Amino acid sequence: MRIITYNVNGIRSAVKKGFIDWLKTDPADIICLQEIKANLPDVPVEAIREAGYETFAFPAQKKGYSGVAILTKISPDRVFYGSGEEQSDAEGRVIGATFGSVTVINAYFPSGTSGDDRQAYKYVWLDGFLQFLQPMVAEGRSLIVCGDYNICHKPIDIHDPVRNKNYTGFLPEERAWMDQFFEAGFVDSFRVFNNVPGRYTWWSNFANARGNNKGWRIDYINVSLPLKDKLLGADIYPHIVHSDHCPAFLEIGI
């Protein structure tokens, strides 16, 4: 099974930049999208179907905001929309699907960049999301939890850890939550295979940050412990440029 997570920063914008042509290259079996920024009638379902994928989308109630989707060549046994937390579900932040014994959960974490209120909500959301996952972990379920986490975990995950230490996305409290998340029974699949610096998934639109590779690794495909020994490979694709993010990839033997 090949899985990609990709914040497209507006699916209609990504389509104009060649997203459908990229889908036709068969980049993965399952593609988890964040920030689709489109209501269901505006999601290009037919074009995606012609590229070989079935679409399951969970838009935000607010127009042009947030929203997640799963594109898949493998028919899921079940799809679920939301995590049961009212504000998170209104913002279209979580969608999941089961494929046999494996559950894929696609999440768009709050960013906290728009002010103190949103940063406070980010901490509430993080705690709620972990509580949502914990019963499934306790049951020993095979989970793949991917998406835009809007957090860099370690100094290796950010181009300038010293200057960014007081910025949302690399705050000590956020990084401590990531520690807690991995201690709860998850594995950072990318770091199983890649331990070199300079591998990022998001770049600011300012000061040629992408050209200079001044980026942040905030997009993850993490797996629960029952899947650790089935990991086959993971990578990041910075040459894919439909968005200010790029895709992250995982291959797993299931």
pLDDT in tens, 149-168: 999 999 999 999 999 999 99
Number of domains in the chain: 1
Give the CATH number, domain containing residue 241: 3.60.10.10
Q: CA torsion 23→26→28→34, rounded to 10°? A: 0
Strand order in the sheet with 102-108: 78-81, 94-99, 102-108, 142-148, 219-224, 186-188
pLDDT tens digits for 167-192? Answer: 999 999 999 999 999 999 999 999 99
In the structure, what pLDDT confidence band is assigned to residue 24 with cuts at 50, 70 and 90?
very high
Cα 217 from Cα 152, distance rounded (Å): 6
Cα 22 from Cα 11, distance rounded (Å): 13
In the structure, what pLDDT confidence band is assigned to residue 87 with cuts at 50, 70 and 90?
very high
pLDDT of amino acid 8:
98
Locate tokens 């906290």: which residue?
Answer: 112
pLDDT of amino acid 112:
84
Whether pTM > 0.95 for this model: the answer is yes
pLDDT tens digits for 208-235? Answer: 999 999 999 999 999 999 999 999 999 9
pLDDT of amino acid 91:
98
pLDDT of amino acid 113:
82
Please pick, among 148, 157, 188, 219, the residue that the annotation labels catalytic: 148
pLDDT of amino acid 13:
98
**Is 175:153 a contact under the CB 8 Å cutoff?**
yes
Q: CA torsion 227→233→239→240, rounded to 10°? A: -40
Residue 121, pLDDT > 80, answer yes
Residue 114, pLDDT > 80, answer no
Residue 242, pLDDT > 90, answer yes
**Is 188:175 a contact under the CB 8 Å cutoff?**
no
Locate tokens 């103190």: which residue?
Answer: 116
48, 91, 141 from 43: Cα distances, Å: 9, 17, 31
**Strand locations in 165-239 (E):** 186-188, 202-203, 215-216, 219-224, 231-236
The first and second tokens of residue 209, run together, are 């940050």
Beta-carbon count within 10 A of 41 CB? 7
The parent domain of residue 61 ranges over: 2-252
pLDDT of amino acid 172:
97
pLDDT tens digits for 41-53? Answer: 999 999 999 999 9
2, 144, 193, 214 from 98: Cα distances, Å: 15, 10, 25, 36
Q: Burial level of 38, CB count in 10 A (0-12/13-18/19+)?
A: buried
Is residue 29 flagged as an active site residue? no
Mean residue pLDDT across the chain = 97
**Secondary structure string (H, E, C) spanning 81-126:** ECCCCHHHHHCCCEEEEEECCEEEEEEECCCCCCCHHHHHHHHHHH
